[in-house]
A and B are shown apart, each in its own frame.
Chain A
Amino acid sequence: MEFDLNEKQSQVRTGLREHFSTIEKESFMNDYYRDVFKEKPGAVLIDRNTDFVTKVTALIEVAKASPSLSLALLDTSVSVLAFEAYASALRNRSFAFTEETAGSDLSLIETTAKKTNEGWVLAGEKKHAFCTEFTEELIILAKLDESSFGIFNIPITDENVSLHKEEVMGLEGIHQTTITLSEVIASPSQMIIKTGTNLDDLNQVFNLSTLFMAAIAVGIAEKALSEALSYSRKRKQFGTIIGEYQAIQFKIAEAVVRINASKTLLYEAAQTLDCGEDAEAEISMSKVYASETAKIAVDHSLQIHGSAALVSGSPISKLYQFQRLTEIHGQTSELLRLKIADRLVKSYSDELVEIY
């Protein structure tokens, strides 16, 4: 067993910490974002030769510096890593999979892609696409016929694409977008892959989204803990710093133990992927656990800060709101728990797999 980062991985982490310490916080979602994939931190995430241990390490640092930025990196990174077609070309992308009636159960989508002489014609309405303000390409899931789906890339500037943006709680500069596709025409080369309605061919997309959300959740939890620690060291009540009280110490202890536990699950999942093995169960566990840890860590941190954290726009109030997304986006905790249990039950039913 070996639990430490290697030298190269440590260097990436140290480099990112230094990098973020020199940047004005407000600037992440403006000019900074435009070149984010050309250098760090984005370049690390999309580089196929960089291991997943390094990638999740980087993403934790990004989420600590800016939850908005970490979320904005997600879809592009996953698309580059998951689709062979995207190995070289690089544009900022947003996934547009879910719809009003199709969330966890994507088989219910109603957006269609019909083959015509002009090419594919896409029509329908997509919900909850993130970060479209920086997106150049939408990655759209559409129904081809009763038994198959296609994934299309559509320029966001297409004249038949219209966007309706809504703010997301706790996130600055990022919107959740409803996308209306009214007879959008796509050439055959714009179809990235074709898949059955069980979406088996998209496992890599789902798994990586889940893994990266887990890393983001860890970053949020660590940020909340750091804030709680510095506040409990300086805030004085009843004649001493509040960190002297067991009421505060116990909250901090619970948060740090859960954060450490989250990180072991996250790194185990990343390491399993790096070994080229099936990591779906490990990834699922890491995200369920990390997102719920973020909930606990942020809630404790808010309680420790008292009313100061209730002020709209305070750092903890933003984390408190953003954390919620981590339990939903990148597959819900409910769906992931079902996957974990399914694996466990199958392994015992067949008595084939050694679970530990």
Chain B
Amino acid sequence: MDFRMSEDQKNFITEIEEICKSTLIPIQEEFGEQDVLSFEMVKALADNGFYKRHIPEKYGGSNQSEEASSTDLCIIREELARLCPLAESTYSVTGLGSYPILLAGTEEQKQEYLRKMTSGEEVFAFALTEPEAGSDAVSLKTTAVRDGDEWVLNGSKIFISNAGDAGVYVVFARTSDAPGSKGISTFIVEDGTPGFSLKRRLKMMAPHPIGELEFKDCRIPKENLLGEEGKGFKYAMQTLDMFRSSVGAQLIGFARSAMEHSTRYAIERQAFGGPLTQFQSIQFKLADMQMEIKAAKHLVYYAANRKDGGNRVTKEAAMAKLYASQVAQRVAYEGQQIFGGYGMMKGNPLELIYREVRPAAIYEGSTEIQHMVIGRGMVNESFIVDSPEKILW
């Protein structure tokens, strides 16, 4: 048993910190809060090899293994979120959008799209959610009908990150009336395809490129089907299973940032004749922050570690994401409380973190869905595995 990062992992973290300080943070500071993508950030991330890391060498990546490392993904997202949130979202949305191609693409698709991803030439988007299909994604209504050598798409997608900025969209649509998830397939749709448009950009409480997409008799070549027909939902779930624990890692990054800022402030800020840290109410907040962040971080890296060991991590990733989002919200709230009025001001780090941590309790499996998945799995025993060496449920 060893909860510590390896020397290689520690060096990797140091490397990310250095790139953030020298290159990424200055881009974020100049960009400010905008609801569009920073292409300068895309380029910087690509130039520094971030997009290459999980992609095999033969597709333009730097990964010597065929398998993407969940632990690596978590380290990157945690450190970027902690130091440079704009870099984090710019990195992760394209990672999520392109992952189904890595998972299910043909050799040609991988060669074409993954190379464009790793080089930063194209930005990707993952289009699953619809106006009337959120947590209940299986009920999506967008259709894709085969017509000769083409697929014809009709429907709309909402809350799609990078909408309007991405060059390549991975779109989930219904291809048959087969029950449940069996009628859903996955397609690659390129920006500029006739019939495909950005319906509107949306403004989020925290800055983020996001919007609504529309498909009106949008025709794409039959070769743009990704993987097997009818297996789309499976690819979506496999992608989300890979990314779910890393959402937790991102939240740990936000929470650590909140804790670091508010601890330093509590040390410096004087009230009633001494620093804020003289008060037990503040000390207790700081103690709880550190304790909960540590616990949540362990759950995140436990899930990632098991994923990298070739296990299914539906349970572990659900726990990691659920708990990390709760912790991040508590830490952001208490951190803002420590800052008092200053924490409400635009420009204060806690003001932004407080807004940044909220969406993750909703996307990629809401808090309610995670509770349901975990509770149900425990009751029906599908989550109960009694192996002598495992320390966690």
A→B interface (CB under 8 Å): 1-7, 9-11, 13-14, 53, 57, 225, 229, 232-233, 241, 243-244, 246, 248-254, 256-257, 259-265, 267-268, 271, 285, 288-289, 334, 336-338, 340-342, 344-345, 348-349, 355-356
Contacts and interface: CB of A to CB of B under 8 A. Distances in A.
B345 interface: no
Contact of A344 (B6, B263, B376, B392): B263
Closest 4 CB pairs of A and B: A249-B375, A264-B298, A243-B379, A341-B283
Interface of B: 1-6, 71, 256, 260, 263-264, 266-267, 277, 280, 282-284, 286-288, 290-292, 294-299, 301-302, 305-306, 319, 322-323, 370-372, 374-376, 378-381, 388-393
Nearest to B322: A257
A344 B391 contact: no
20 contacts: A1-B4, A3-B302, A3-B392, A14-B388, A241-B379, A246-B371, A248-B379, A249-B379, A250-B372, A253-B322, A253-B372, A253-B374, A261-B295, A261-B323, A264-B298, A264-B302, A265-B298, A337-B288, A341-B287, A341-B290
B296 A345 contact: no
B277 to A, nearest CB: 5
Contacts of A7: 389
B185 to A, nearest CB: 31
Contacts of B282: 341
Contacts of A345: 263, 266-267, 277, 283, 286
Given A257-B322, A341-B284, A349 B388 contact: no
A344 B287 contact: yes
Chain A interface, DSSP helix/strand/loop, else mixed: helix
Given A5-B389, A260-B393, A268-B294, A342 B4 contact: no
Nearest to A246: B372
B3 A268 contact: yes
B295 A1 contact: no
Contacts of A344: 263, 286-287, 290
Contact of A263 (B260, B267, B391): B391
Contacts of A232: 379
A289 B379 contact: no
Contact of A265 (B277, B295, B374, B376): B295
Contacts of B372: 246, 249-250, 253
B283 A337 contact: yes
A271 B391 CA distance: 13
Most buried by B among A259, A336, A349: A349
Contacts of B388: 5, 10-11, 13-14
A3 B305 contact: yes
Most buried by B among A229, A232, A285: A285
Contacts of B290: 285, 340-341, 344, 355
Nearest to A265: B295
A262 B392 CA distance: 10
Most buried by B among A4, A244, A248, A259: A4
B266 A267 contact: no
B149 to A, nearest CB: 47
Contacts of A348: 260, 263-264, 267
B379 A259 contact: no
Contacts of A53: 1
A223 B202 CA distance: 48
Contact of A248 (B1, B6, B283, B375): B375
Contacts of A14: 388
Given A261-B296, A285-B295, 18 more contacts: A2-B305, A3-B306, A243-B379, A246-B372, A248-B375, A249-B374, A249-B375, A251-B375, A259-B393, A260-B299, A260-B319, A261-B295, A262-B295, A264-B298, A265-B291, A271-B3, A337-B284, A344-B286
A251 B379 CA distance: 11
A285 B291 contact: yes
A72 B335 CA distance: 41
Nearest to B3: A268
Nearest to B383: A256
A349 B1 contact: no
A241 B381 CA distance: 14
B367 to A, nearest CB: 10
Contacts of A3: 1, 3, 302, 305-306, 391-392
Contacts of B263: 344-345, 348
Nearest to B316: A260
Given A5-B1, A253-B371, A348-B264, A285 B294 contact: yes
B299 A341 contact: no
A254 B371 contact: yes
A289 B389 contact: no
Contacts of B6: 1
B10 to A, nearest CB: 9
B319 A257 contact: yes
A316 B284 CA distance: 30
Given A10-B389, A229-B379, A345-B263, A264 B371 contact: no
Nearest to A222: B393
B299 A264 contact: yes
Nearest to B282: A341
A288 B3 contact: no
B2 A233 contact: no
Contacts of B297: 356
A84 B67 CA distance: 51
Given A1-B3, A244-B379, A252-B378, A261 B266 contact: no
Contacts of B2: 1-2, 271
Contacts of A233: 379, 381
A53 B322 CA distance: 27
A14 B386 CA distance: 11
B178 to A, nearest CB: 26
Nearest to B319: A257
A340 B292 CA distance: 12
A104 to B, nearest CB: 13
A66 to B, nearest CB: 21
Most buried by B among A1, A241, A267, A289: A1
